Amino acid sequence: MARKVLVLGEVRDGSLRNVSFEAIAAGKTVSEGGEVVGVLIGKSVSALGDEMIQYGADKVVVVENDKLEQYTSDGYSQAILSVIDEEKPEGIIFGHTALGKDLSPKVASKLSTGLISDATDLEEAGGNLVFTRPIYSGKAFEKKIVTDGVIFATIRPNNIEPLAKDESRTGEVTSLSVDIKDLRTIIKDVVRKASEGVDLSEAKVIIAGGRGVKSEDGFNPLKELADVLGGAVGASRGACDADYCDYSLQIGQTGKVVTPDLYIACGISGAIQHLAGMSNSKVIVAINKDPEANIFNVADYGIVGDLFEVVPMLTEEFKKLKVSSS
């Protein structure tokens, strides 16, 4: 059954986040040969429409307004609901990001429709679209289908492969004028505490430190390894609570949920709350002095040793590999 599917493109610092392209790929599956409509919301974002089309969108609708320069649930919900009213889609896909997690329940409530959140896989089986999502902090998975109404889902970053970019693809980029009014939240200023570099939630490689790093300076070897591998640095709650790093780096049940291709846990014991945030990583490497540490139970590879000896050795070996392959 061919469907029209809306896909929200998420913009950060003037660029589309990678999860936007993953959402387009999911939208293609949901559309089953129908039309995928990209949606861009913000201020001066229309130039990004062509990139959404190159990644698979058939057309893009842009809602621009000075009041949408910074995200607010009131403003964005007015914008997306206006697009939905105009396009009347049978499916809607958001990224399961901080923005998507905040906005999707409000939109679903306004539409009186269900919502499948945090989907990690999507497939067609027995004539139905089957979404897979983790439950019980990643200890189990459930499969869900939509039997009636709009198919509305958010997808976890780094789980659905985006389509190959095709710069020859063309499509219509149109503007929709929406009167944004009655905002209850006004953003006066944005203070960024996250470290520069690769976005932690979308990183393909993450080097994470726990209490075993012992100090703020103990993260320096991890940062060097992350730089060599083109990855991001994360942390357990224990490291954040000890003031070794900012809470913006926290991975776990009360922090960010990540699914990188490679996760290297350094000096992390493996508390269940931390595992909930990273156990679905494709390859997990654990470095810990304690051979009985719980992190080894979920690791694909384990190194029993002092992280301050092991991490610099890994960094040097990866540097050699990069030189030899260049």
Q: Are residues 157 and 220 in the same domain?
A: no
Q: Report pLDDT for 127.
A: 84
Residue 234 forms part of a structural domain? yes
**Same domain assignment for residues 216 and 291:** yes
Amino acid (1-letter code) at residue 259: T
Establish if 188 belongs to a structural domain. no
* Residues making up the binding site: 211, 236-237, 250-254, 267-274, 288
Residues 138 and 236 in one domain: no
**What pLDDT score does 284 carry?**
97
Task: Give yes or no: residues 120 and 32 share one domain.
Answer: yes
Q: For residue 171, what are its two tokens?
A: 């499509």
Output the average pLDDT for the chain: 94
pLDDT (tens digit, 9 = 90+) per residue, 32-77? 999 999 999 999 999 999 999 999 999 999 999 999 999 999 999 9
Find the CATH number of the domain harbouring 29: 3.40.50.620
pLDDT digits (tens, 9 = 90+) for 118-130: 999 999 888 889 9
Closest CA to 238 of 224, 254, 258: 254
311: helix, strand or coil: helix
Q: Place 28 in a pLDDT band, splitting at 50, 70 and 90.
A: very high
Residue 187 domain flag: no
| CATH classification at residue 205 | 3.40.50.1220
| Apex 9 CA angle, 166 and 42, nearest 5 | 125
Residues 135 and 208 in one domain: no
Total domains, the chain: 2
Q: Are residues 171 and 34 in the same domain?
A: yes
Q: For residues 243 and 127, which has the higher predicted lDDT (pLDDT)?
A: 243
Burial bucket for residue 242 (CB in 10 Å: 0-12, 13-18, 19+) = middle
Residues 28 and 159 in one domain: yes
Asked if residue 204 and residue 168 are part of one domain, the reply reads no
At which residue do the structure tokens 């100090």 appear?
A: 215
The DSSP result for 13-78, as a single string, is TTEE-HHHHHHHHHHHHHHTTS-EEEEEEESS-GGGHHHHHHTT-SEEEEEE-GGGSS--HHHHHH
Annotated binding site for FAD: 211, 236-237, 250-254, 267-274, 288
206 lies in the same domain as 168: no
User: Rounded CA gap, 2 and 35, in Å?
Assistant: 8
Mean pLDDT computed over 213-225: 96
If asked whether residues 156 and 11 sit together in one domain, one would say yes
Measured distance CA(117)–CA(215) in Å, rounded: 37
Q: Is residue 258 domain-shared with residue 129, that is, in the same domain?
A: no
User: Pick the residue with more confidence: 204 or 127?
Assistant: 204
163 and 233 fall within a common domain: no
Q: Which residues contact 79 (CB under 8 A, 6 or more apart)?
A: 41, 63, 65, 68, 178, 180
Residue 318: domain span: 200-325
Q: Assess if residue 48 is contained within a domain.
A: yes
Residues in the chain: 326
The pLDDT score that the predictor gives to residue 201 is 87
Q: Per residue in 112-163, pLDDT tens?
A: 999 999 999 999 888 889 999 998 878 899 999 999 899 999 999 999 999 9
Provide the whole-model pTM. Answer: 0.87
